[in-house]
Amino acid sequence: MRDEVAVLYTEEEIARRVAELGAEIGRALEGRELNVLGLMGSLIFMADLVRHLPLETSMHLVRVSTQREQTANRVMTEIVFATAVPLEGCDVLLVDDVVDTGITLSYLLGHLHERRPRSVHVCTLIDKPELRKIDVHPDWAAFALKEDRGRFLVGYGLDWKGRFAGLPFLGTIARPSSGPRTAA
């Protein structure tokens, strides 16, 4: 399985960057108690990041379901978001795995702000700003990458059809010629 994967960032490089992010976020949000909301795909990243935050935190997983349907040269995106976590007056850190188009992030931020938190900040593992369709930007990103249409990101929680998520590094595989895209 690992033979198919080209290493992009080693386990050590990721650990170093996550520790740096924890310190950066800790300085920026010093003295606050954070409600960390992690999208399911960011579970490994969120767990490592929270261990490096020098702040009081509570952790919650948020399930976001995105379905894309292409008909008549038009892509329809349906996003479902649900959480029972009370956020009014709280400081929130939303942790995502990959931000590319910004569609899902914009949707989530809109729904989070409806719950009247004191503040909302975003940290993502991978930011792909050149793919942005909506002007929304994470406050922190572990890595900013250019899109490689021939390669697909895997490892460190990112999967392709359920495979590769458990790899301790971030890598790429040749993009399959057909099939759904799982990292958004």
pTM of the complete model: 0.87
Class of domain 12-148: alpha beta
- Residue 102, H or E segment: none
Residue 73 vs residue 10, higher pLDDT: 10
For residue range 119-159, list pLDDT tens digits in order.
999 999 999 999 999 999 999 999 999 887 789 999 999 99
Task: Give the Cα separation of 54 and 59 in Å (integer).
Answer: 14
Contacts (Cβ under 8 Å, ≥6 apart) of 3: none
Told to judge if 91 belongs to the known catalytic residues of this protein, a careful annotator would answer no
Catalytic residue among 100, 127, 135, 148: 100
Would you state the pLDDT for residue 41? 86
